[in-house]
Structures are given as C-alpha cells and as structure tokens.
C-alpha cells in the first residue's frame, strides 16, 4: 500500500513539473520571438539611412551641376537628372527606401554627367553666338545701305533723330556684346536678339519708304504776257 502511494505521489509530482515546464517554456522563448519581431524594424531603419545618405550625395551633385551652369549649357542632361531625382523623392515618401536609394544613385550619376557636359555646351553656344554676331554685322551693313537709299525720303524729323541715335549707339552695343561672349554667353545672345530686332524694324521702315511713291513737286505756270487791246 505504501508502495502504491509513493508511485502515485511521484506521478503527481512529474505531472506538476511537466505542467510547470510547459507554462515556463513560452517565457523562455519570448526573447527570441521578440528579436524576430524587431528584425524588420531594424532593417527598415538601415534602408532609410542608406537612402538618406545617397540623397545627400545626389543633392550635392545637383547643386554642383547648377553652379557650373548646366541649366544653360547642358539643359537636356540636367533636366533628365532632375526627373530621376523626382522619382527618388516619390519613392522616399512612399517609404520604398531600397528603390529610393537606387534612384538617388542614378540621379547622382546623371548630375555628374550634366556637369561634365557644361564645357562642351559652352563651346557650342560660343560658336552659335559668334555666328550670330557675324550675321548681325552683315545685317547692319545692309541696313546702312538701305538708309542711304531713302535718306531723301526721311522727312519726319523724329524718325531722322531716332535713326541718328541708333547709328551712334550701335557700335558701343556691338562692342559690349562681343565682350560678353567671354563672360556671359546667355547675355550676349540676348543683346544680339535685341539688336537684330531693332535692325529688322528699321529695315521694314526703309522698305516702306522706298516703295512709297515720290510726290511730284507742283510747277508754277508762267503767266502769259498781258495783251493790250488796240
């Protein structure tokens, strides 16, 4: 009887220990489970940090490209780079950090290409401006010849004064334009456009004067000698 009682007690004790073990097992697993839950959050923070790092690098490349004059002399390149930048910014707002990082890397490379294209763009722009200067000088010579042809028809005093003022300032304007080719190509192009517009207006005016009929001068009739009646 004592033996049976001992066996029963041992069995009860084993069952109690087993239940305690089952109850405590999840507690021992909690740290591991917590670490598994935390992994995505840690990974997301790392991806965001990596994207922000590339964003800063791409922003620096963009600022350098703008400062170098890419918006004037490599417009196509910098506009393409800005589109990639805008895509990266959109991915950041959507918290798609991996895609954003890749776009920022691409944008940075594109901005570097825009900066590199500036010098070649300046050469092309300078060639265009020099050609425009040559055309402007030719147009000026033709205009002066047209003015000489209608000089006698310019009866309007205000018109004659305006023409004389333009002829006096044109040489200085051309000199300033040529100087700008070295320091400010965009400014030189604006000067050329403005001067050419003025020349075209004067040319139109001279053509109208040339086509207008010349008024005939009235001739006085000689008075007939008076006749006396006999």
The DSSP annotation for 7-28 comes to HHHHHHHHHHHHHHHHHHHHHH
Helix locations, 94-156, DSSP H: 97-149
Q: With a cut of 50, say whether residue 5 has pLDDT above it.
A: no
What CA–CA distances, in Å, run from 84 to 54, 55, 88, 152, 170?
13, 12, 6, 63, 46
Q: With a cut of 80, say whether residue 81 has pLDDT above it.
A: yes
CA atoms within 13 A on the CB side of 40: 2
pTM > 0.85: yes or no: no
Q: With a cut of 50, say whether residue 33 has pLDDT above it.
A: no
What percent of the chain has a predicted confidence (pLDDT) above 90?
56
Which single residue is written with the structure tokens 């009860």? 12
Angle at 43 between CA 42 and CA 46, to 5 degrees: 90
Contact by Cβ (8 Å): 100, 92: yes
Q: With a cut of 80, say whether residue 69 has pLDDT above it.
A: yes
Each residue of 183-208: pLDDT tens digit?
A: 888 888 899 999 999 999 999 999 99
Q: With a cut of 70, say whether residue 14 has pLDDT above it.
A: no
> Quick one: pLDDT at residue 63?
96
Q: Show Cβ contacts of residue 187 under 8 Å, excluding neighbours closer than 6 positions.
A: 180
Q: With a cut of 60, say whether residue 30 has pLDDT above it.
A: no
């Amino acid at each position: 009887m004592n033996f049976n009682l001992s066996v029963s007690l041992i069995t009860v004790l084993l069952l109690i220990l087993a239940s305690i073990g089952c109850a405590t097992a999840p507690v021992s697993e909690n740290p591991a489970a917590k670490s598994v839950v935390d992994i995505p959050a840690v990974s997301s923070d790392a991806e965001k940090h990596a994207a922000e790092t590339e964003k800063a690098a791409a922003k620096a490349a963009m600022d350098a490209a703008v400062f170098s004059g890419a918006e004037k002399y490599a417009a196509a390149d910098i506009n393409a780079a800005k589109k990639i930048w805008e895509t990266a910014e959109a991915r950041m707002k959507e918290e798609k950090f991996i895609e954003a990082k890749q776009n920022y890397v691409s944008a940075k490379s594109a901005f570097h290409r825009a900066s590199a294209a500036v010098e070649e763009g300046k050469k092309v722009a300078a060639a265009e401006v020099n050609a425009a200067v040559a055309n402007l000088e030719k147009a000026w010579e033709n205009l002066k010849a047209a003015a000489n042809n209608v000089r006698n028809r310019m009866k309007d005093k205000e018109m004659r004064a305006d023409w004389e003022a333009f002829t006096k300032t044109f040489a200085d304007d051309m000199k300033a334009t040529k100087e700008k080719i070295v320091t400010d190509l965009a400014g030189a192009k604006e000067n050329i456009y403005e001067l050419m517009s003025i020349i075209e207006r004067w040319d139109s005016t001279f053509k109208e004067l040339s086509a207008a009929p010349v008024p005939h001068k009235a001739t006085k009739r000689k008075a007939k000698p008076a006749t006396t009646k006999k």
